[in-house]
């Protein structure tokens, strides 16, 4: 997993011959050019309008002649009269006229000339001379100046149209629908190396050979070796796949093109395929280079899912990618790297050798890997000497690199809120609970009756977990509300990373999940809506035991599940296909699921009934303490084994009820991720 960008390691083994790329953003410079072009055209239009002048009020030619002959239009009323081929203009006041008092507004007039003959001009000039009105002639404007308004308007419309197309089609030059949206990271921009990646040593070792090839491709080509066309990184979200790709580019010192699979797909037909071709063309011009496509499943899903005979733009884009990956020659050092957490949805043609030759698994780190990742992220915070990152790694099974980075940040924020000088171990422990169970709601007011019931519920979970074999140790019990609707929780942490679970371990896990509702039935002789999430998780686990794990003697060792689960996204749900089983088979499956749940409930009920005194003592202490540690819980259990005085919970039923039955509608009171090894019930 990656470290913080603030602490990159030096890389002295870059490719000195690789071309350097300027850091200037081409799209920004192109955008400035078009803004300047539009502004220039607007200025040209305004200039043409101004140069043409304002002609003022219209006076007909016959009216003008009559007013001059009647002497109603005298010499002092006509100034700066200009005669052109098409009209004549004048104004009622001279430019340099001096006025006193309130300034007067100059009024302008124009008169169209009905005839441009020489005789008409001579008659007009004689009349003006008789009236002692000064006049002059204006030469016609050049043709280019007359055409300037039309030309500027046309350019403005065309430029606006191109600007709109460019905004819709994406970055790059005008008409750039087919330009790739991949961002080019120059050598000096990629400052991540393998020293910033921790906890996934196997993946790093696999990619070091790719780096060696990018540095010295001749070493492999001389022996007849073929260039690996592509490397596919698969793994759960947050494990560091994108950071690994950047580290490869940083170690090799080559240009790095990064983009998402969804960047290729557009609303216009053919745009995605054009962008694929443009992306590879740019990479070939800067080879050796790396093209990294994040979330490859958005582009490379299995073809044939569309309507028969129809046109699927995504399939056309995928076809273009397949051709490009299998088309460039071995003398070009271009490697395509893809990242996905859903490899089962990718097209087989994309996964075959020759396109993605290598599949690198970036899995969840083990305890040693988590410790290394914590050390990388802890370099940017001030920690107390008491912090034991090895213990923190042990308390976080199933955490990926992103979770651990978030944990370190949460611990730092908690210490700052408490005004500590350094990050303490308590902040890390509280941060673990906050990441797994949600934000603590200390200000939420819970009525006393609900508080007693929640304490009884969580004590039931904890007591069953502490009493049965093959269960993970209880770490903490709390009735402080956390997260979204969680009124309390019981936290279990495994002693080590679990790769496999046996049938007895799963049966004990079912009993622990039902410990809360069994405790409510024993103490209160009724259940509440607080066990909805417990019942949901219990039913799902029991069904998987029957349909996927072959743990039902009645159904045999067969796989009956109709759900297709992702190996890395199990928590996101499963895609359920049409059932291929008979109605009788599905009924048998439902009966087996009910049998497993009923057996687990009886186990939980018998465990709690035999330790009724311990259950009530745990409930009373939890009401008082609100948060109980594992040490206190075990001390209460040991004390009550020696026969302590019976303690009853106020408002609880004293008689032992019969076995609970029915499917009540529940309200969630637990929080957690069922995919992790950590159990929160």
Whether 506 shows a pLDDT value over 90: the answer reads yes
How many residues are there in the chain? 681
Quote the Cα angle for 366-371-374, to 5°: 125
For the chain, give the longest Cα–Cα distance: 138
489 — pLDDT class (breaks 50, 70, 90):
confident
Kindly state the tokens that stand for 540.
């799902």
Q: According to the model, what pLDDT value does residue 592 have? A: 95
- Helical (H) or strand (E) element with 206: helix 201-215
pTM above 0.85, yes or no: no
Q: According to the model, what pLDDT value does residue 178 have? A: 45
Provide the 10 A C-beta neighbour count for residue 582: 9
State the chain's mean pLDDT as an integer. Answer: 77
Q: Which residues contact 493 (CB under 8 A, 6 or more apart)?
A: 394, 395, 397, 472, 473, 475, 678
Mean pLDDT throughout 643-653? 40
Q: Are strands 489-492 and 679-680 parallel, antiparallel or unpaired?
A: antiparallel
Looking at domain 186-303+311-361, its CATH architecture is: 3-Layer(aba) Sandwich (3.40)
Kindly state the tokens that stand for 434.
């906050």
Place of tokens 């957690």: 672
Phi/psi-derived region of residue 525, left when phi > 0, alpha when psi is between -120 and 50, beta in every other case: left
21 — pLDDT class (breaks 50, 70, 90):
very low
Of 666, 671, 660, the C-alpha closest to 520 is 660
Q: What is the CATH number of domain 57-143?
A: 3.30.720.210
The pLDDT tens digits of the residues spanning 585-625 come to: 999 999 999 999 999 999 999 999 999 999 999 999 999 99
Lowest mean pLDDT among 103-107, 408-412, 659-663: 659-663
28 — pLDDT class (breaks 50, 70, 90):
very low
CA–CA gap between residue 567 and residue 236 (Å, rounded): 8
Lowest mean pLDDT among 243-252, 304-313, 413-422, 627-636: 304-313
- Residue environment code for 220-251, b if the CB has 16+ CB neighbours within 10 A, otherwise e: beeeeeebbbbbbbbbbebbbbbbbbbbbbbb
CA–CA gap between residue 175 and residue 164 (Å, rounded): 9
- Residue environment code for 287-302, b if the CB has 16+ CB neighbours within 10 A, otherwise e: bbbbbbbbbbbbbbbe
Q: According to the model, what pLDDT value does residue 222 have? A: 85
The pLDDT tens digits of the residues spanning 263-316 come to: 776 655 667 788 888 888 888 888 788 888 888 888 888 876 554 444 466 788
Kindly state the tokens that stand for 253.
């010192």
The pLDDT tens digits of the residues spanning 327-386 come to: 655 446 678 899 998 888 888 888 888 888 889 999 889 899 999 999 989 988 999 999
Q: What is the CATH number of domain 367-436?
A: 1.10.8.60
How buried is residue 402: exposed, middle or buried, by Cβ count under 10 Å (0-12/13-18/19+)?
Answer: middle
- Helical (H) or strand (E) element with 475: strand 474-478
DSSP conformation letters of 478-528: E-S-BTTTB--EEEE--SS--S---HHHHHHHHHHHTHHHHHHHHHHSS--
- Helical (H) or strand (E) element with 87: strand 87-91
Q: According to the model, what pLDDT value does residue 211 have? A: 85
In 305-380, where do the E strands start and end?
A: 334-340, 358-361
In 238-361, where do the E strands start and end?
A: 256-260, 289-294, 334-340, 358-361
Residues of the chain with CATH 3.40.50.300: 186-303+311-361
CA–CA gap between residue 360 and residue 391 (Å, rounded): 29
CA–CA gap between residue 234 and residue 109 (Å, rounded): 80
How buried is residue 481: exposed, middle or buried, by Cβ count under 10 Å (0-12/13-18/19+)?
Answer: buried
Backbone angles phi, psi at 12, to 5 degrees: -100, 10
CA-atom Rg of the chain in angstroms: 40
Between residues 31 and 252, which one has the greater pLDDT?
Answer: 252
Kindly state the tokens that stand for 646.
């019976």
233 — pLDDT class (breaks 50, 70, 90):
very high
Determine the 3-state secondary structure of 341 from DSSP.
coil
Q: According to the model, what pLDDT value does residue 440 have? A: 74
Looking at domain 448-561+582-640, its CATH architecture is: Up-down Bundle (1.20)
Q: According to the model, what pLDDT value does residue 265 have? A: 67
139 — pLDDT class (breaks 50, 70, 90):
low
Of 573, 192, 203, the C-alpha closest to 365 is 203
Q: According to the model, what pLDDT value does residue 297 have? A: 85
Mean pLDDT throughout 571-583? 63
Please list the residues that pair with 250 across neighbouring strands: none
Residues of the chain with CATH 1.10.8.60: 367-436
Q: Which residues are catalytic?
A: 458
Residues of the chain with CATH 1.20.58.760: 448-561+582-640
CA–CA gap between residue 585 and residue 554 (Å, rounded): 11
Place of tokens 């906890």: 199
Q: Are strands 334-340 and 358-361 parallel, antiparallel or unpaired?
A: unpaired
Q: According to the model, what pLDDT value does residue 82 have? A: 80
Highest mean pLDDT: which range of 482-496, 510-524, 642-656: 510-524
Quote the Cα angle for 550-553-557, to 5°: 35
CA–CA gap between residue 192 and residue 21 (Å, rounded): 18
- Helical (H) or strand (E) element with 374: helix 367-377
Please list the residues that pair with 289 across neighbouring strands: 334
Residues of the chain with CATH 3.30.720.210: 57-143
Q: According to the model, what pLDDT value does residue 6 have? A: 39
Q: According to the model, what pLDDT value does residue 166 have? A: 62
């Amino acid at each position: 997993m990656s470290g913080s960008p603030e602490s990159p390691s030096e890389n002295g083994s870059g490719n000195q011959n690789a071309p350097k790329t300027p850091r200037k953003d081409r799209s920004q410079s192109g955008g400035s050019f078009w803004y300047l072009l539009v502004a220039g055209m607007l200025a040209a239009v305004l200039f043409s309008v101004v140069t043409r002048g304002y002609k003022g009020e219209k006076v007909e030619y016959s009216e003008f002649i009559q007013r001059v002959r009647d002497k109603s239009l005298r010499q002092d009323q006509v100034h700066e009269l200009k005669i052109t081929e098409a009209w004549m203009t004048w104004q009622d006041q001279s430019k340099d006229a001096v006025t006193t008092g309130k300034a007067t507004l100059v009024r302008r007039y124009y008169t169209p000339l009905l005839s441009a003959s020489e005789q008409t001009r001579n008659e007009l000039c004689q009349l003006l001379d008789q009236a002692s009105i000064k006049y002059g002639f204006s030469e016609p404007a050049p043709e280019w100046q007359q055409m300037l308004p039309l030309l500027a308007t046309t350019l403005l419309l065309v430029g606006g149209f191109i600007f709109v197309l460019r905004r819709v089609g994406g970055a790059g030059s005008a008409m750039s629908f087919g330009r790739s949206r991949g961002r080019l990271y120059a050598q000096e921009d990629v400052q991540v190396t393998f020293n910033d990646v921790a906890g996934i040593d196997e993946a790093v070792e696999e990619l070091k050979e790719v780096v060696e090839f990018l540095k010295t491709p001749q070493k492999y080509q001389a022996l007849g070796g073929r260039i690996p066309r592509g490397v596919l990184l698969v793994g759960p979200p947050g494990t560091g796949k994108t950071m690994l790709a950047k580290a490869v580019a940083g170690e090799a010192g080559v240009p790095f093109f990064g983009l998402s699979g969804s960047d290729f797909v557009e609303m216009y037909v053919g745009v995605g395929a054009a962008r694929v071709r443009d992306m590879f063309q740019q990479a070939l011009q800067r080879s050796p280079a790396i093209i990294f496509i994040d979330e490859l499943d958005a582009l490379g899903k299995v073809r044939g899912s569309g309507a028969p005979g129809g046109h699927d733009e995504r399939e056309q884009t995928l076809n273009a990618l397949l051709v490009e990956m299998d088309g460039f020659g071995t003398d070009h050092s271009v490697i395509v790297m893809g990242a996905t957490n859903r490899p089962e949805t990718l097209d087989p043609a994309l996964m075959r050798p020759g396109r993605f030759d290598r599949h690198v698994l970036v899995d969840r780190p083990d305890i040693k890997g988590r410790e290394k990742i914590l050390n990388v992220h802890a370099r940017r915070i001030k920690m107390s000497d008491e912090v034991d990152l090895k213990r923190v790694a042990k308390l976080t099974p199933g955490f990926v690199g992103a979770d651990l980075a978030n944990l370190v940040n949460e611990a730092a924020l908690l210490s700052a809120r408490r005004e500590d000088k350094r990050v303490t171990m308590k902040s890390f422990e509280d941060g673990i609970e906050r990441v797994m169970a949600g934000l603590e709601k200390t200000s939420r007011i819970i009525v006393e009756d609900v508080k007693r019931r929640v304490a009884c519920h969580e004590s039931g979970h904890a007591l069953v977990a502490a009493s049965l074999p093959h269960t993970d140790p209880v770490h903490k019990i709390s009735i402080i509300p956390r997260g979204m609707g969680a009124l309390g929780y019981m936290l279990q942490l495994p002693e080590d990373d679990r790769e496999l679970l046996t049938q007895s371990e799963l049966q004990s896990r079912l009993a622990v999940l039902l410990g809360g509702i069994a405790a409510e039935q024993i103490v209160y002789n009724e259940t509440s809506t607080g066990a909805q999430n417990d019942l949901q998780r219990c039913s799902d686990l029991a069904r998987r035991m029957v349909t996927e794990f072959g743990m039902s003697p009645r159904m045999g060792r067969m796989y009956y599940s109709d759900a297709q689960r992702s190996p890395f996204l199990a928590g996101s749900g499963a895609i359920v296909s049409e059932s291929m089983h008979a109605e009788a088979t599905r009924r048998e499956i439902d009966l087996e699921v009910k049998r497993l749940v009923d057996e687990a409930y009886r186990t939980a009920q018998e465990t709690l009934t035999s330790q009724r005194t311990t259950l009530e003592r745990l409930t009373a202490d939890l009401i008082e303490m609100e948060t109980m540690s594992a040490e206190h819980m075990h001390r209460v259990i040991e004390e009550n084994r020696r026969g302590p005085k019976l303690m009853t919970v106020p408002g609880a039923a004293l008689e032992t009820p019969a076995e609970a039955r029915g499917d009540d509608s529940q309200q969630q009171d637990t929080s957690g991720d069922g995919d992790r090894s950590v159990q929160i019930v």
